[in-house]
Amino acid sequence: MKRFRDPEKTLRRNLWANFRLAVVLAAAAAVLFGCASLSPLPGEDLVLAARKMYTSLDSARVSVVNGFTGETEQEFVFKYDEKGLMTYSYVGRSEGVYLAQYNNGREQFTNDNGSVSALDASDLSFTAYSRDVPYPMAGEGMILFYKKGVTSAGTVSSDDGGTVVNYGYDVHKLGEYDGEGELAGFSVSYRFDSDGEFVSMDQRTDVNIDGEIVSYLYTIYINDRNSVERVENVVDISSLDN
């Protein structure tokens, strides 16, 4: 089994079933720079507003829930200080892989399947993140939207008076797929309340493996918006003292 040491790669692998990280991020950015001439899609204004809302937050808790098991497989918590420096934590569990990381802009601790390591600002591989240099998971790409890849689009009203925006994507336009089998389908449903505020996002990926369709479903929630008081260190560093 491949091991993924970068939390961002782990997140993207689970959400989009093995799309290469660089391709996905480029696709997410393309909507801002390469799609201005396309006609607006149903619900596009809500999706774009949600992306802007997310990057404007001072703090939040992002949870990625397996739609079939109901388990929270990944959680990302971040907070900017008054100078714009980011502190974040990440915990991911999937298919026997465990990864936890904490970074406060001065030091970083990582637990990669039980192997605990530390970095500080003097290490060349250390990176501090801020509003000017944002961590990828705190960027607009967290709420995926690649306009040029959308092949079907529509909105429906939810029972609570909100809106659900549904986009189906052309899998051949989403980038390179390096997982088992062949990518057969990808769709996203964005949920908004009656005031147009983002509630959650469902991402479904279908893969054809030897003639059988295997599906992955994840729901992303953005909670504790501007209300995270302190980001806790999720890595047990007691072993580093030995």
| Whole-number Å distance between alpha carbons of 232 and 102 | 8
Determine the pLDDT at residue 102: 97
Whether residue 241 is contained in a domain is answered as: no
Determine the pLDDT at residue 173: 84
Whether residue 71 is contained in a domain is answered as: yes
Determine the pLDDT at residue 39: 87
Kindly report the length of the chain.
242
Determine the pLDDT at residue 152: 95
- HSE (CB half, 13 Å, CA atoms) of 199? 16
Q: Which residues of 101-130 are buried (b: 16+ CB within 10 A; e: fewer)?
A: bbbbbebbbbbbeeeeeebeeeeeeeebbe
Given a contact cutoff of 8 angstroms between Cβ atoms, the answer to whether 175 and 63 are in contact is no
pLDDT tens digits, one per residue of 69-114 = 999 999 999 999 999 999 999 998 887 889 999 999 999 999 999 9
Per-residue tokens: 134: 């944002």
Given a contact cutoff of 8 angstroms between Cβ atoms, the answer to whether 200 and 207 are in contact is no
CATH of residue 221? 2.50.20
Whether residue 101 is contained in a domain is answered as: yes
Q: What angle do CA 142, 174, 112 make, to 5 degrees?
A: 50
Q: How many domains does the chain have?
A: 1
Whether residue 242 is contained in a domain is answered as: no
pTM of the model: 0.83
Closest CA to 200 of 6, 61, 4: 61
| Whole-number Å distance between alpha carbons of 179 and 66 | 18
Which structural domain range is residue 130 located in?
Answer: 7-234
E strands in the chain: 59-66, 72-80, 86-94, 97-103, 107-112, 115-120, 150-157, 163-169, 182-192, 198-209, 212-223
Whether residue 167 is contained in a domain is answered as: yes
Whether residue 52 is contained in a domain is answered as: yes
Whether residue 196 is contained in a domain is answered as: yes
Say how far residue 101 (Cα) sits from the centre of its chain: 15
Residue ranges, the chain, pLDDT below 70: 1-37, 176, 178, 242
Whether residue 239 is contained in a domain is answered as: no
State how far the alpha carbon of 193 is from the alpha carbons of 47, 159, 190, 197, 199, in Å: 12, 10, 10, 5, 6
Closest CA to 216 of 191, 180, 174: 180
Determine the pLDDT at residue 239: 83
Given a contact cutoff of 8 angstroms between Cβ atoms, the answer to whether 172 and 153 are in contact is no
Residues 6+ apart with CB under 8 A from 241: none
| Whole-number Å distance between alpha carbons of 47 and 172 | 22
